[in-house]
Amino acid sequence: MMTTDTSELPPPPPPEEEPPPPPPEEPGPTTRFGRFQAAFNRRRKRISITLGVVILVAGAYALSLFAVHYLQRSAGPLPPLDLSEGKGNYTIVQLRLDELKTTANRLQVDVLVYPPDSVYDNRFDVLAKDVAVRLYPTSDLGDLIFPIGKAPAQLQTKIEAHGDPGNWPFDQYKTEKISADAFIGAGDGRRKYPGRVEVTGAMEGWDVAVSRVTDAGEPAPASDDDAGLIITLKRAKGPLVFDIAIIIVLIALPTLALLVAIPMVLGRRKFVPPFGTWYAAMLFAVVPLRNFLPGSPPPGSWIDQAVVQWVLIGLGTAMTLYIISWIRQGD
Q: Are the C-beta atoms of residues 254 and 310 closer than 8 Å to each other?
A: yes
What average pLDDT does the chain have? 81
**pLDDT for the residue numbered 100:** 92
**pLDDT for the residue numbered 96:** 94
Q: Are the C-beta atoms of residues 131 and 115 closer than 8 Å to each other?
A: yes
Q: Whose CA is closest to 101, among 209, 201, 197, 173?
A: 173
Q: Are strands 155-160 and 106-114 parallel, antiparallel or unpaired?
A: antiparallel
Q: Are strands 120-121 and 126-127 parallel, antiparallel or unpaired?
A: antiparallel
**pLDDT for the residue numbered 24:** 57
What is the DSSP-derived secondary structure letter of residue 78? B
Q: pLDDT tens digits, residue range 108-134? A: 999 999 998 889 888 888 999 999 999
Poorest-pLDDT segment among 39-43, 83-87, 214-218: 83-87
Residue 8 confidence class, pLDDT cut points 50, 70, 90: low
Residue 159 confidence class, pLDDT cut points 50, 70, 90: very high
Beta-carbon neighbour count of residue 183 at 10 Å? 19
300: left (phi over 0), alpha (psi -120 to 50) or beta: left
Q: Whose CA is closest to 324, among 274, 259, 267?
A: 267
Residue 200 confidence class, pLDDT cut points 50, 70, 90: very high
Q: pLDDT tens digits, residue range 249-259? A: 888 888 988 99
In DSSP terms, 313 is beta-bridged to none
pLDDT value at 233 more than 70: yes
Residue 175 confidence class, pLDDT cut points 50, 70, 90: very high
pTM of the model: 0.72
What is the DSSP-derived secondary structure letter of residue 19? P
**pLDDT for the residue numbered 225:** 60
Region 92-96: what's the mean pLDDT? 93
